[in-house]
Amino acid sequence: MPTLKLTYFDFHGGRGEVARLAFSMGGIEFEDDRIPFSQWADRKPETPFGAIPVLEVDGQPFAQSNGINRYAGKLSGLYPEDLLQAAFCDEAMDAVEDVAAALVGTFSIKDEDEKKAARQALADGPFTNYLRFLSARLDARGGEWFADGRLTVADLKVFLWIRHIRSGNLEHVPTDLADRLAPNLVQHFERVAAHEGVKAYYDGCKS
């Protein structure tokens, strides 16, 4: 097994969380390098694309969160071997990345009215569209999991997005948006949250 170091912000969410979860669920040891927001400006220049997460494998760094998730999923047994199921897994992960990219731009808005308008446009536009798209994809894949008939890194990625929407931490995005538009994604969220490995990870974090 290679020596692994995952660098990301110090909170339970965002683009680095899927890999942390996957490594934990697969029993894969890794160095959990958490950067406090206050230190990010200093460490940004050392990253390959001015962004995190970054995964180092035996000292060789690479970036891009879904590539990291795929790598972590392969090591942890949470990525499909079948070519088509792998493509279904990739599809769901990249779809969440599409909405994440639309969201990221709203974090830096300082003016409160402007931020509210941007978040409402986000909720009514990309979030609404992608909740509906992913809801239909989940149904097309059998209704329970996004690929391979079992939990994969795609399910972890969608789970974290739905959790974020429902958390109340996304100002001006209605917390019941997923519940109203995509009840099957909320059931999926609960299915993932109840998964043994996911429960064990978050139970461990609380202690």
Query: Which residues are near a copy of itself by CB under 8 A?
Result: 2, 48-50, 55, 57, 60, 62-64, 66-68, 70-71, 74-75, 83-84, 86-88, 90-91, 94-95, 98, 101, 129-130, 133, 136-137, 140
- Supply the minimum distance, in Å, between the C-beta of residue 181 and a copy of itself: 15
For 109, other C-beta atoms within 10 Å of its C-beta total 14
Count CB neighbours of 105 within 10 A. Answer: 10
CB of 10 to a copy of itself, least distance (A): 23
> Would you say 71 and 55 are in contact if contact means Cβ atoms under 8 Å apart?
yes
* CB-nearer residue toward a copy of itself: 24 or 85: 85
Tokens of 173: 């995005």
For residue 153, the minimal CB distance to a copy of itself (Å) is 13
The token duo for 17 is 């969380």
Q: DSSP 3-state helix, strand, coil percentages of the chain (rounded to 5)? A: 65, 10, 25
Give the residue with the Cβ less far from a copy of itself, 138 or 198. Answer: 138
Please, which residue, 95 or 170, has the CB nearer to a copy of itself?
Answer: 95
| Phi, psi (deg, nearest 5) at residue 82 | -65, 135
Q: In angstroms, give the least distance from the CB of 93 to a copy of itself.
A: 8
- Cα–Cα nearest to 88, from 16, 142, 15: 142
Measured from the CB atom, the residue of 6 and 198 that comes closer to a copy of itself is: 6
